[in-house]
Amino acid sequence: MGDKLKILVVDDEPETVEMLKVALERGNYNVVAAYDGKEGIEKARSEKPALIVLDIMMPRMNGVEACKIMKSDTELASIPVIMLTAMASQIPTSSYSMHDGMEIEADDYIEKPVDPNLLLARVNAMLEK
């Protein structure tokens, strides 16, 4: 594998993006960042990443909407998406739910705060499929 696989990280918190970037680069991935759902979709189209890590709660366009758009785009539909959620623990009280998540066809979920080693393990497993 000469070329590093490219991963798109979409999160509106720069420190989260930086932390995920460091973790993924340690795993020998190339990381591209976007800071909201709209920018995430644009970057997905221009960069053609191997995988997308997508936060749910973002301004301009949240991760749920961004994922729906990407999964309905023939060029992007096959790219695996890992959703980041700070809300797994309060899902019953939130307007988002795992049910919505499954409906939006995300391929996996990781709770925030993200454990970098867990993220790397999930990314590796998904890209080996």
61-118 residue pLDDT tens: 999 999 999 999 999 999 999 999 876 554 444 444 445 544 567 899 898 889 999 9
- Give the count of alpha carbons within 13 A of 7, CB side only: 28
Give the span between the Cα atoms of 98 and 104, in whole angstroms: 10
Q: Is residue 42 part of a domain?
A: yes
CATH number of residue 75's parent domain: 3.40.50.2300
Q: What's the pLDDT at 39? A: 97
Name the phi and psi angles at 82, rounded to 5: -105, 120
Q: In what order do the strands lie in the sheet with 51-55?
A: 30-34, 6-10, 51-55, 81-85, 108-111
Overall number of domains in the chain: 1
Q: H/E element holding 44?
A: helix 37-47
Q: What is the pTM of this model?
A: 0.87
Q: What's the pLDDT at 86? A: 78
Quote the domain boundaries for residue 54.
6-128
Q: Is residue 1 part of a domain?
A: no
